[in-house]
Structure 1
């Protein structure tokens, strides 16, 4: 599988004049030309604009005046996020003929101001929640890339871009990252702004990114945060310098029952390597640790989907009334479920989330991070099913930060490790994610 070097490793070469952003863009375009007709990661491209922006970045680096650590980074943008001059179609017939957006989403504007080179819009599941995208997994074209940030994961995994914006409502960043061999980062809830991004669920939606390295992914998100952090947040301030966690917990939820023996053995072997590297790993093959939080999280999946459907009544009920028959089965099912949901039920789900968060907070003084598989195995065959969300939903439901780190392999296919932290602890967790990234390649 062709891959391009992580962008952060090119910065010394840009400074020394041995490489340029324009040359890096051309390497990415070679991957696009060679693979995207089969992978179908991109919905639309603007190569001419990307070359102009890469040339401008090249001149800034030659002058010793780059705008940021992502000046010249080639990125993709998930097609539920507005990019000026591109239609935002969201893989829906409702918006198939929509006009191009007249302005960038706040995250895109921030990336441009930092010098990022926007290559195009990446494919997504219908409204980031429904019917699958046409994208294929770059490691096996007969397998799903995961959803709903399907194109973003595939574009990074194939080396077509250094990073791409994604969104996660339940599992839509971490799962494609695991399947496609990319790094994925879902921040704490609300840390990054959602302005200019079509909503799915106000209680669950997160903006994040997928990248070729922890540093690339973090630096893109930092650029957004530096320009426009989420409302009421101080933003991201840490750096992607590796910091070994002292003590981690393994959350052996019921989701582990979805792993086959081969995946479970590979994950257990990885835990042994971390222990050998000096990390205290609290886990058991039979007992759930820590038990109180695991017990609550095993029961949150119906609550998460119920909250999602409740939130989706706007704007999707309006779409269903205006364009009957054009919404996919999953979205119409969630809307039908919402019709049977009461405010009292929604409040119970919020109370369940509060209980989970209280248990998570109680672990903060004991553990540096929590480990789980990033997905229930390698990418599934076929495209009707984009894979189980069981390992990702807890962190979306609670709004805690989580990373998917590549480095494991099952039958030659990527299988990510998930490292999660505590709400608002993104600046600490990134150091542990960067250390885990190094540990998995040693």
Structure 2
């Protein structure tokens, strides 16, 4: 029995979700800091290059989340069942797979950075900037992936505040280093990527306290790679993978369409919208990751009543966050856009401000979709989690974006996200109703 997960569900919800949301805000802030300092230190070409490079970065980030969240979900189930050996083997296999993936990404990006940059939409003005950012950032691939594995394991091992501390320290240091490297040293895109790469190293230094103070109930053990176990937690983490990589897919599709409408200035405007949206999405991802230990624990214990409470609190939290986000963006869209416009280009500000107001309406539905997908994966129903994640991240986006862009131009691009999330919310609602009925029957039984 995990004492850290006992007590009133409301209190445990606050204990796990609050620090994780704050940590995810801080963690996503370093991308926003890159956007701000690149916009003001390099200009609109640098902003467009960053938007191209982030497409590839999301693939690595998605892999880390899949292994970390999926592995930690399996770890929590084994831990709640009292199987310490299986819990440690799960961690060990997650680490091995993360390091293997890191090596693949590091080599592949450094070999193919130039053709990949062109494929992402870069031109003669932006290809060098994009290539530099990718090569430097992926030089830190082992640290990014290991940090993404350690964070959810430490959180599931009863130290959510320490996990938050790691994310906050890494992100705050990244922001300070962005200013130093870009604005003071004048290192441009190299400085931005270098500052971002240092962040996971500092985060892992904080997480090491969990082991140094012997709070850990898991450890790395000598074991052969267990393909079945790896496949199991990869499936459980698949919805997290899809949630993250869908952001990259949306970026790629939107970048290419916007290039045809507005050129690099349009991509720069979308870069402003997308990177502010990364912070917004982090609020929901933070909520989703925060409920995972609670949902997995009560699921393993067969506690249907508390499981439904966790879900109810999560959906209510997502709704409140959505309403606040939409209100803030509608009130501050023009000042936010202007903050990333070094050259005071009126077209850039107008495009970004309009985009924010339309795009962010989608968070009214996105919050419930993201939280529900993670919840289903946490209770070992990855099929439902995957269906929601694939629906919002691939199927719905592709179904709407080309038609809307052809019909409404740039406005059509901006409203694709709200339309896709609203359509997916119908599927989410269906799954939630079925789950509630099943839990009601189980409780009655």
Q: TM-score, normalised by structure 2?
A: 0.29
Structure with the largest fraction of strand: 1
Larger RCO, structure (CA 8 Å, separation 6 or more): 2
Q: TM-score, normalised by structure 1?
A: 0.29
Structure with the largest fraction of helix: 2
